[in-house]
Structure 1
């Protein structure tokens, strides 16, 4: 790409924005060197890498790229035998740690089954140098100091230094605090000169102190003297410091040798970290500009959907659709100044450079970009005083250079083509240049003021007119690009809005040719038709979106219904299986019980025992509940249900008795020991008790009473059985029976225990017991009535 093209299209400003998202100097350096590729394969690969980084940032939020430094130069120096400084070693340790963190981050992504082929490849090549990191951290502190524990010798030397320092300061403090000495000192302090401990002595008392003078004040009134009593201690301290320096140099040299051993892996890691930082800088920039991945092609086809210029603020920029390279390869944009023609021109050029640099575009999904070998741009007034070139001449110099190299793999951008000279000659020249570039097969976008070029798109195959919309009501451009519609001058409309008299405007129209008026009217009609079509399209999109949302909602409801139905089927099957299994166990128990009776009694089983066992077998069989259809009999009674009727509650699959009607459609129903309100549509008539003839009380209490001395509950449901027991006790009391029997059988014991508990708590029962062996045993309960 030409350097001039990159500058004119403001490619450097995009790179400056991109650099803000790099985490290290490595990433910034790669961004600085970034240029658009002309390889289709590389452009596709770079876009996929950026998209991968964008997806990771969207899902994980960030990547640990902190603490990365460009340490390749340090590694190379260590490799040739140089000794590295503590801070250089510390940067190496920090970068090794960052390498380890990045590799772990990528491995965690792989465990989460994210598709990250590029990062996976980087992770395989990243080498973790944990031993070297630990050795450096063991010897070098966080602030670049060599730690005492780096070696035993260094630790001993530093302990000796502390001892010498302490003793020297102690002696000097005694001197400073002495009343005799204090009057000789300029200040009662201990200080350091030439790396030795000294005290400030007044000039006149110099002879009172032995030792060495190391410095004096600016006025000469104060001498910094090292007293003779601390000279030996200072010497010992100085000697220890020299030994410390030698030991530190030895430690740094050893660490540098360790770095030299791993120099190649370090340099390799730095290169990989630079690529990762570069890749994620692109991803973060895409998030910043709300970019999307364009579909790349090598056919010179451009399709931008709601494209926004990345260097214009979001609250100002107007999204535009642009298409070039399929139905037409040239676009001629006409219209007034400050309408946005040049911005559109730069937008297409800059998007091409960004796409071929692996950057996502601030446009909607579905945008496509071609890969061009060259992008040429003749934009702006580049009049040169030094070269004595006019505006027209400077443009022609650029155009001549472009025409020397343009071919079918080029994108050419002309701004104000043919401007700066006679309008007729300029227009003719512009048409000729466009024809030439079109013949070469290049993709072209040109802006112009010349009205002659408005007809250019209609007379040339593969060429389309375009304009930037202008609102005559507000006297300002809307910056919306209209493909297929040439621009109008709008001079008469603007003048009218600004207050120019109508007579003057009408007189001006007389000087315009009829052909020009026809063209202007045609353009106005095209703009109106386009505006109407866009409005209808937006309405159609809204209807389609609403229909799609309705379809999705219905589909969701159907899926939920099917899922719920399947769960109910599974639950019903499981319940049926449990019932069958329970029935089998019950049958096995009954058979075992019968065999036990045979063995114990050595005789035929009694009839009542067989009846009881048979009822238990029948009760063990699982009941398959089926929804009953309303019979003719129930239909006949449905409109004249009466209290006391036995009914089936369809929603509960339970039987009960009607108590009373509580509303026009609701009945109170007794179901076992419960009473509940049920809607009439959920009630199915079963039977109605026959009227009982009323007999004199004497007859009721006589031996001819219809009440039996025993109540057989075998085979009854628990709730129904308790209702029958309650009614039977009342009937027995009326009949005057002192004692009655309730046959409930042995079974599982539920009915037996339930009856026992009920009768024991009944107000009219005096005593309750199980029957004797001759009376039926525990299968019968004998109750005595009050």
Structure 2
């Protein structure tokens, strides 16, 4: 990748930001080494790694990566026969522990059925060195101190050391507490010189204690003497310390040998944990810029959705849609200074470099980035005082170098192409350079001030004009990129807003040619059309969202209604059955009484008449139907087609087929609702030709067409109540669970009258005012029983 382009596009600043999210020196090293790849497969793999780490952060919020160290130098020293220091062992144990902790973290997520194929593979490649970790922790504590438990010999030596030290201290304590001590000692303390216990004796009493002088004060008035009485004990301490040191060296040597034996496994752990640290560094950076994973291609196609410059603060950066490489391969951006042209160039260039480095980019989902073998950028003031080159000359030196290497796998970014020289010659040169790069098949984005280049996009196939929007009212750029619309001069409008007299502006306009005026008018018209189209698109999207929400709400309400209806049917049938059973029991009793009367009193009642009466009672009992929602589809070989009348078994409703939306789904019109229904839940009734059409007004029941709202605004009170009465009957017949009555706010008389009527209506279950999104107190929402 072109190093100059990396510097020009400030890729080094991206790396600086990445450094903030590393968990170890290993991650920092990987960040320093990162550079854009030119292999599509490698880039896709790197993007997948970043995306998987981002998935972990999204689900868990963190990843346990603390305690990783670069232990490669320690492993190398162990290999060549050196003895590692205690702190080096601490770092090795910490790294083993960090790898084990991270592995358990990933295994737990996989057990919860979270797919992490890359991290699963990496953690499986790391050896489990828990015994070595425990061995190190048995020898060295977290501060690098050798523990007594390192060996039994060391424990015994240190036990003897402590016992001897106690004896020495006891003797010296008795010495400094004696009656003469206050007179002969400079201070009643025990101190150490040359690893031996001594006491501070005044110069004139040096011979009183005997022993060995180890040091004196700066004034010479105090001598640090090892009394003769403890010389032997100090010698024993010295011997024990030497034994302790020899034992520690032996322990560290053996432990170093164990490290050497596990050197290969430790190198693998370090390498993989470095990869993992870098994966999560990229993911954390992507989260900080609200980045997304781009789709990658090798077709030279770039499509950035609401892309922001990654180095600008998110609240300041203006998002733009940028597309290049499909319908056109060159974009020429015109517009005023500080309007955002250069930011657009850097946004495209830097996003491409980031994507090819496996980083997420600051744009919305669905963005796509091409893999380029080389990226060239001529951006900024290239003036070189050292080489005595002007701005124009420096730019040309850079452009000449670009033209020598550019090909169809290149992305070229030109800022103010042809600037710094005579406008006419500069424009001609810019057109020629653009033609050359375009003919070689490279993807090009160029910015310019020259009006001659506004017509360039209209005269060249595969080239499109673009501009950055400028608000004349506020005299400031909006930084919005308008692809397909060339920039126009705003000098006259700006001058007028700043107070330049009209007659001066009119004289200036007279110097402008007719062609230029027509071009400016055309550009103004295009800009207005673009804004209008964008506004209409946003409005259409909003209406579509509202319609989809309304459809989902209606589907939900219908489901609730049918479930409730089926439940009520079953409840009513069970209740009727209970009544009939009770009646049958009473009838049985009456028949028994009649038989008894016939036998006792000879009443003339024939037996077959009694049996016939009993049968009539039994036939009166209703047969309970199964829930309509559980009806199974009847097998039929009928081929369904649009227009056929069908029965939707899940809703127990009739409807008409509108169109087939997939191999197994149809769109069905049921009354005023259109729904997607699986073909297995449809039962054929009759074809379109056999369907009898009736006037809409004569059809009642669930298919009766009545709106979900009744608007009473402007109605007189009596007329309004009449309409409400009829509307409630129609809505009940249509099977609606709830409707809205719009009465407005006004004086409140109509609202109060309507609500009083609704409270006493037989079919009304509950009423309430509309919510904020439903019209507030100007609307009453009615729920039916």
Q: TM-score range by the shorter chain?
A: 0.7 to 0.9
Q: Please name the residue that 1:432 is paired with.
A: 432
| Structure 1 residue 206, shift from structure 2 partner | 1.6
Distance 1:266 1:570 in 2: 71
Residue 180 of structure 1 pairs with residue 155 of structure 2: no
For structure 2, list consecutive stretches of 5 or more residues without a partner in the other structure. 586-606, 627-759, 765-785
Quick one: distance in 2 between partners of 1:562 and 1:77?
78
Partner of 1:528: 528
What is the SS of the residue equivalent to 2:299? Answer: coil
Q: Distance in 2 between matches of 1:565 and 1:435?
A: 73
Change (3 A) 1:563 1:350: farther
Is contact 2:181–2:188 with CA below 8 Å preserved after alignment? no
Query: Which residue of structure 1 aligns with residue 196 of structure 2?
Result: 196
8 A Cα contact 2:43 2:358, kept in partner: yes
CA gap 1:493/1:263 in 2 versus in 1, 3 angstroms: same
* Distance in 2 of aligned mates of 1:196 and 1:506: 102
Alpha-carbon distance in structure 2 between the residues aligned to 1:85 and 1:147: 14
- Residues 278 and 475 of structure 1: is their aligned pair in 2 closer, same or farther, counting only changes over 3 Å? same
Q: Which residue is equivalent to 2:716?
A: none
1:486 equivalent in structure 2: 486
| 2:294–2:366 CA contact under 8 A, matched in 1 | yes
Q: How does 1:52-63 map to 2 (within 5 A)?
A: 52-63=52-63
TM-score normalised according to structure 1 size: 0.73
Following superposition, the deviation at residue 553 of structure 1 comes to 2.4
Deviation at 1:73, TM superposition (A): 2.1
Match of residue 118 from structure 1: 118
Q: 1:501 maps to what in 2?
A: 501
CA distance in 1 between counterparts of 2:215 and 2:488 reads 88
- State the Cα distance separating 1:207 from its structure 2 match: 2.3
SS at match of 1:349: helix
Query: Match for residue 538 of structure 1?
Result: 538
Corresponding residue for 1:35?
A: 35
TM-aligned CA deviation for residue 568 of structure 1: 8.8
**Residue 337 (structure 1) aligns with:** 337
1:257 matched to 2:218 = no
In structure 1, the partner of 2:100 is: 100
> Counterparts of 1:214-613 in structure 2 under 5 Å?
214-560=214-560
User: Structure 1 residues 516 and 195, CA, compared in 2 at 3 Å: closer, same or farther?
Assistant: same
Report if aligned partners of 2:412, 2:445 keep a CA contact under 8 Å in 1.
Answer: yes
In structure 1, how many angstroms separate the alpha carbons of the residues matched to 2:432 and 2:495? 34
Tell me the CA shift for residue 622 of structure 1: 9.1
CA drift at 1:173: 1.4
C-alpha distance 571-204 of structure 1, shift in aligned 2 (>3 A)? farther
Q: SS at 2:124's partner residue?
A: helix
Q: Deviations over 1:682-726 (max 9, x none)?
A: 9xxxxxxxxxxxxxxxxxxxxxxxxxxxxxxxxxxxxxxxxxxxx
CA contact (8 A) 2:412 2:444 kept: yes
- Please say if residues 570 and 625 of structure 2, whose CA atoms lie closer than 8 Å, have aligned partners that are also in contact: no
**Structure 1 CA distance, aligned partners of 2:527 and 2:148?**
82
1:229 offset after TM fit, Å? Answer: 0.9
Residue aligned with 2:321, SS? strand
Deviations 1:380-432 (A, max 9, x none): 11211111111111111110110011000000000111111111111110000
User: C-alpha displacement at 1:552, in angstroms?
Assistant: 2.4
Instruction: Please say if residues 354 and 361 of structure 2, whose CA atoms lie closer than 8 Å, have aligned partners that are also in contact.
Output: yes
268 and 558 in structure 1: CA distance in 2 versus 1, 3 angstrom threshold: farther
In structure 1, what is the equivalent of residue 690 of structure 2? none
Determine if contact 2:570/2:624 at 8 Å carries over to the other structure.
no
* Residues 504-552 of structure 1, C-alpha deviations (whole Å, 9 max, x = no match): 1111111111111111111111111111111111101110111122222
CA distance in 1, matches of 2:124, 2:271: 14
SS of the equivalent of 1:168 reads helix
Secondary structure at the aligned position of 1:479 is classed as strand
Q: Could you report, residue by residue, the CA deviation over 1:108-131 in whole angstroms, capped at 9, with x for unpaired residues?
A: 111111121111111221211111
Separation in structure 2 between the aligned mates of residue 681 and residue 10 of structure 1, nearest angstrom: 71
Could you tell me which residue of structure 2 aligns to residue 131 of structure 1? Answer: 131
Distance in 1 (CA, whole Å) between partners of 2:389 and 2:570 is 88
Distance 1:422 1:623 in 2: 100
* CA 171–281 in structure 1, closer or farther in 2 if over 3 Å, else same: same
The more displaced of 225-234 and 203-212 is 203-212
Could you tell me which residue of structure 2 aligns to residue 82 of structure 1? 82
Match in the other structure for 2:159 = 159
Q: 1:564 to 1:310 in 2, by over 3 A?
A: farther
Matching residue of 1:142: 142
User: Which runs of structure 2 are paired with 1:604-683 in the superposition (5 Å)?
Assistant: 624=623
Distance 1:568 1:369, change over 3 A: farther
Question: Relative to 1, partners in 2 of residues 1:679 and 1:535: Cα closer, same or farther, differing over 3 Å?
Answer: closer
Q: Deviations over 1:201-247 (max 9, x none)?
A: 12222222311111111122211111111111111111111111111
Change (3 A) 1:572 1:679: closer
Counterparts of 2:259 and 2:566, CA distance in 1: 66
Instruction: Find the aligned partners of 2:296 and 2:112 in 1 and give their Cα distance.
Output: 29
Give 1:561 deviation, angstroms.
5.4
Distance in 1 between the 2:172 and 2:243 partners? 25
CA distance in 1, matches of 2:534, 2:102: 49
1:555 is displaced (CA, Å) by 3.2
Does the residue aligned with 1:183 lie in a helix, a strand or coil?
Answer: helix
Question: Distance in 2 between the 1:555 and 1:327 partners?
Answer: 41
Change (3 A) 1:178 1:566: farther
CA distance in 1, matches of 2:374, 2:145: 54
Which of structures 1 and 2 has the bigger CA Rg?
1
Deviation of 1:680 after TM superposition, in Å, equals 8.8
Deviations 1:56-94 (A, max 9, x none): 111111111111111122122222322111111111111
| SS of alignment partner, residue 310 of structure 2 | coil
